[in-house]
């Protein structure tokens, strides 16, 4: 089977929602792959420098990514992923967009069609900007505290074709949009089950001992002595993206399982952590939760019940004032207000891993749970 390419699809242009339908794209001719506003657009880009910065962000923050029973990171993209030229947001195995009904033009009037803003399509995306008439603005001002829209966060893998059990009776809706794969499944090619599975496999098998004479970025201990830094560099060599929180965290966990003798021919880490989707299993994607726990969500947010307890679709409130004040980029508001506290989780089946480091050069650093990366 050909392995997926870890590339960045990019989205451009802004249209008015008052004249464009939800199915129209911002950029129907999207052939400039890999040229989005990503942290490594710098022509002098250095993987080592990026990994050094990412380590400082990940390991010195106050939110732990590596726990005993799960691996986690927030839906919010890392700094540098923006819309200066193209919309590159939604790259952490979690895509997000805004959903709402077009506001009425007068008190007692009817809401218009249901639309999405900034939702990825197979090519391009739905518009980012919502153009409002003066009457619609007045309506939103009069209903400034009412919940009139939703931020949608989805971790439904792009290659999971599972049906929605809840739809056997009546599909749940978000702002008048029935839940279906077309609108609520992720679209970017690297936000998939197979891509994550291969990344685990590659980081287990590749290994990286590091050249301690190179890459010295500070006067402190050489960064290659850091488990996270080493895994971040390995991520790039394994075909992932070294500036993504998700890829580097997944690779760090996988690398440590390998270095500490927790996997062998009988223990397939890739299949245990990210089972390949087929018609026989119920894996839709990594569950979403909060920092407090895998089942917690920030205030104003709730799960969309798909009928399978997958926890892969979350909606958060947008008020009339939110829509009025951020009509040029509601997706950006979803990111700034909610995305850092909507957390992707990978449950770790700890009982499946029995570690025996042997004479590996990193054996002395292996704990009973070596996948908890702290340095």
Query: Is residue 158 over pLDDT 90?
Result: yes
- Crossing angle (nearest 10°) for helices 227-237 and 47-59: 130
- Distances in Å between the alpha carbon of 54 and those of 46, 72, 84, 159, 251? 12, 15, 22, 28, 14
Task: Please check whether residue 126 is in contact with residue 33, taking contact to mean a CB–CB distance below 8 angstroms.
Answer: no
Query: Is residue 208 over pLDDT 70?
Result: no
State which H helix or E strand residue 322 sits in. helix 320-325
Q: Where are the domains of the chain?
A: 49-365
- What's the pLDDT at 331? 96
Measured in residues, the chain has a length of 375
- What's the pLDDT at 15? 29
Q: What is the pTM of this model?
A: 0.86
CA distance 100 to 119: 12
Please state, as a whole number, how many other Cβ atoms lie within 10 Å of the Cβ of residue 262: 23
Query: Is residue 308 over pLDDT 70?
Result: yes
- What's the pLDDT at 12? 27
Mean pLDDT of the chain: 82
Q: How confident is the model at residue 106 (pLDDT cuts 50, 70, 90)?
A: confident
Share above pLDDT 70 across residues of the chain, in percent, rounded to a whole number: 81
55-66, pLDDT tens digit by residue?
877 776 667 899
Which residues lie closer than 8 Å to 14 by C-beta, 6 or more apart?
Answer: 26, 127, 128, 129, 328
State which H helix or E strand residue 346 sits in. strand 343-347
Q: How confident is the model at residue 285 (pLDDT cuts 50, 70, 90)?
A: very high
What's the chain's Rg over C-alpha atoms? 22
């Amino acid at each position: 089977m050909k392995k997926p390419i870890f590339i960045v699809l990019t989205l451009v242009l802004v249209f008015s929602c008052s004249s464009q339908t939800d199915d129209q794209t911002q950029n129907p001719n999207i052939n400039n792959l890999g040229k989005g506003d990503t942290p490594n657009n710098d022509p002098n880009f250095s993987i080592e420098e990026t990994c050094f910065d990412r380590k400082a962000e990940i390991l010195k923050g106050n939110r732990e990514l590596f726990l005993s029973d799960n691996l986690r990171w927030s839906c919010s993209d890392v700094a540098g992923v923006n819309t200066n030229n193209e919309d590159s947001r939604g790259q952490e195995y979690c895509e997000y967009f805004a959903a709402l009904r077009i506001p009425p033009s007068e008190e007692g009037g009817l809401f218009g069609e249901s639309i999405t803003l900034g939702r990825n399509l197979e090519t391009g995306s739905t518009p980012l900007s919502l153009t409002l008439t003066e009457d619609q603005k007045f309506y939103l001002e009069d209903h400034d505290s009412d919940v009139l829209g939703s931020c949608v966060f989805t971790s439904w893998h792009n290659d999971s074709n599972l049906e929605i059990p809840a739809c056997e009776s009546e599909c749940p809706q978000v702002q008048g949009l029935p839940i279906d794969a077309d609108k609520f499944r992720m679209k970017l090619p690297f936000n998939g089950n197979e891509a994550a599975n291969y990344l685990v496999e590659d980081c287990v098998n590749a290994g990286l001992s590091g050249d301690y004479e190179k890459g010295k970025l500070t006067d402190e201990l050489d960064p290659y002595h850091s488990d996270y830094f080493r895994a971040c560099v390995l991520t790039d060599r394994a075909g992932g993206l070294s500036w993504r929180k998700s890829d580097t965290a997944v690779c760090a966990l996988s690398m440590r399982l390998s270095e500490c003798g927790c996997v062998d021919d009988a223990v397939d880490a890739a299949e245990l952590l990210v089972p390949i989707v087929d018609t026989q299993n119920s894996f839709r994607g990594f569950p979403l939760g909060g920092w407090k726990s895998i089942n917690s969500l920030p205030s104003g947010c709730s799960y969309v019940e798909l009928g399978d307890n997958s926890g892969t679709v979350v909606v958060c409130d947008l008020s009339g004032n939110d829509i009025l004040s951020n009509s040029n980029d509601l997706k950006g508001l979803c990111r700034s207000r909610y995305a850092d506290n909507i957390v992707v989780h990978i449950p770790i089946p700890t009982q499946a891993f029995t570690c025996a480091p042997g004479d590996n050069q990193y054996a002395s650093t292996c704990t009973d749970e070596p996948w908890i990366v702290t340095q």
